[in-house]
Chain A
Amino acid sequence: MALSTSSNFAKPDDAFRAIVEAHRGLTEAQSADLDAALVLVLANHIGDLDVLHEAIALAKRRTLDTSQQQQQQQQQQ
């Protein structure tokens, strides 16, 4: 595992807050543009394709889990 998933920020709330605030006042389209640019900037900063692949896999697993849960909920309803 090349990707670090331990907590790396001394104050994680500050980091989360910084990202949330960057999106304040933006339309959904503007937010999506910001995210796209931010992902590219951070990916380049990491500069390690293995880490990037693992990060993508981790993030994607969240997305799939969420959509599966939604599907199950819909089926239960």
Chain B
Amino acid sequence: MASANSAQAKTQFGYRRHPDQERSGANIAEHPVVVVGAGPVGLSLAIDLAQRGQRVVLLDDADRIGEGSRAICFSKRSLEFWDRLGVGDRMVEKGVVWSVGKIFHGASQLYQFNLLPEEGHKRPAFINLQQFYAEAYLVDRVEQLPEIDLRWRNKVIALESRNDGVALTIATPEGAYQVHASFVVACDGARSSLRQMVGADFAGQVFEDQFLIADVKMTAAFPTERWFWFDPPFHAGRSALLHKQPDDIWRIDLQLNPDADPVAEKQPENVRPRIERMLGHDKFEFEWISLYKFQCRRMAKFIHGRVIFAGDSAHQVSPFGARGANSGLEDAENLAWKLDRVLRRLSPEGLLESYHIERSAAADENIRESTRSTDFMAPVTKQEARLRQAVLSLAKDTEFGKRMVNGGRLSVPSVYDTPLSSGDRDDWRGGPRPGASMLDAPVTEPGGGSSYLTEVFIRQGTRFTLLEFGNGAAADVPDGVGSIQVGGEGGLVDAHGLAGKRYDAAPGTAYLLRPDGYVAARFRNATRPALDAALARASGVN
């Protein structure tokens, strides 16, 4: 049953006139950052910036949170980001936690996988949560932050790039007004109008196959797992996906023929028989039906002068792999601390280029992975279909065949090959390398309370932080750098030995974490000059 609290999540908001609208000409309002688009990416970015002390204007052309569940799978990495934004608990409480996926061929199970086979992580591999809940919780958080000025029914209709920023013309129900922003971040989705305004292209691959999404409400005893079928008995020759969401809603995704008539296929009376065959009963109601084709593409440059693109406006992937919303959230987290430093003049504007380098490489990886999944699900040529059939038949008897079956490779954080990293100079047999995301592990507070490394990182202020494995007294860290000590005098206790193991740690081992939790550098023994150099590099200062 849905809790009363979540069922009442607010989704309708009102337009309000803002004093900026009284100003014009040389007198228009100046803002450090304007974020366009109050979806999961824009909202999360605004919150991150606000928590770093930046004032943010957040514009959205609608006055309500979109209908339909749309994105439903949020990754561990996204949940850790949302923990930093203060909304992680709410998402996880409402969400459906899962980590097991099963792949079927015909009527029989080929194999199953567990995305988080080990203990000792605060967050699960994934939760399923309707996008409108995620957005509603983010809006609630926004409303707690006076730094964010969220303006509904404010639609950007013109953009003029200047040397020191961007002039935006914004349409409202009461007419248009202008503002000037030092930076504009376009989180305005796949059909981004800002992308068109800067004249950027958005080339890529279009897939011809059509997919039908139906969210149905029913009480069912299926386990909370991701089930994927190739050639199921109820949908011969095509693929199907079943996934649980909160409120007894189930996501069903059916591959259709490329020549299926979109209007006819979307009619509930045509969808119903297919789903009855799948479920073996008719005790369900439709919540949402959508038919889509998809594209895999990205912008060549994520930064156009002072206009920065994040999320679907910058890149699009097929949905199999939960790489859309999750990669957009990673964009937001990657950008927020860099933009904050540039606005404070702690780092040169060139630091932002690393956002493009890191996140466009991640987009390429996501496009590659999701294109492969899509090609496997919907083979284009006869020979591709033959090879896929060979894989599926070999998967019954062989381990290698099982691992070649591609029913979607689910989102994991990218490892960045980036100028912000300082390369390894010491010997490592494991642990996250520079450019990789920090790993979680359980730790015990000196006072006896249990916690996780990701939580301690948040308490350090989500800034540059040295994670050090105790070797006597704590290392001398530069000003403004947080410090986490595991072991040693007064440090956290690695009661299960998992922190040490996951970081390939010996006494004296130290990891310099970036404000987004990525590893900037690591040392067997951190000397102050080496630390200063790594910090300067990771800040884009040298």
Contacts and interface: CB of A to CB of B under 8 A. Distances in A.
Interface of A: 32-33, 36-37, 39-41, 44
A69 B143 CA distance: 72
A33 B400 CA distance: 18
Which DSSP category, helix, strand, loop or mixed, fits chain A's interface?
helix
Contacts of A40: 387, 390-391, 394, 401, 404
Interface in B397-428: 398, 400-401, 404
Given A37-B393, A37-B394, A44 B386 contact: no
A33 B390 CA distance: 7
B295 interface: no
B389 interface: yes
14 contacts: A32-B383, A32-B386, A33-B386, A36-B383, A36-B390, A37-B390, A37-B393, A37-B394, A39-B390, A40-B387, A40-B394, A41-B394, A41-B398, A44-B398
A14 B50 CA distance: 73
B46 to A, nearest CB: 43
Contacts of A32: 383, 386
Contacts of B390: 33, 36-37, 39-40
Contact of A33 (B389, B398, B401, B404): B389
Contacts of A37: 390, 393-394
Contacts of B383: 32, 36
Given A32-B386, A36-B386, A36-B387, A44 B393 contact: no
Which DSSP category, helix, strand, loop or mixed, fits chain B's interface?
helix
A44 B401 CA distance: 9
Contacts of B404: 40
Contacts of B391: 40
Interface of B: 383, 386-387, 389-391, 393-394, 398, 400-401, 404
A67 B400 CA distance: 34
Contacts of B394: 37, 40-41
A32 B390 CA distance: 10
Given A33-B390, A40-B387, A40-B390, 11 more contacts: A33-B389, A36-B383, A36-B386, A36-B387, A36-B390, A39-B387, A40-B394, A40-B401, A41-B398, A44-B398, A44-B400
B271 to A, nearest CB: 34
A44 B402 CA distance: 12
Of B387, B393, B398, the most chain A CB neighbours within 10 A belong to B387
Nearest to B384: A36
A41 B394 CA distance: 8
A44 B397 CA distance: 14
Contacts of B401: 40
A25 B153 CA distance: 70
A32 B386 CA distance: 8
A32 B389 CA distance: 11
Nearest to A37: B390
Contact of B389 (A36, A39, A41, A44): A36
A36 B381 CA distance: 14
B273 to A, nearest CB: 32
B103 to A, nearest CB: 17
Contacts of A33: 386, 389-390
Nearest to A45: B400
A37 B404 CA distance: 12
A46 B213 CA distance: 40
A36 B398 CA distance: 15
A47 B175 CA distance: 64
A32 B521 CA distance: 51
Contacts of B398: 41, 44
Nearest to B401: A40
A47 to B, nearest CB: 9
Of B386, B389, B391, B404, the most chain A CB neighbours within 10 A belong to B386
Contacts of A41: 394, 398
A34 to B, nearest CB: 9
Nearest to B382: A32
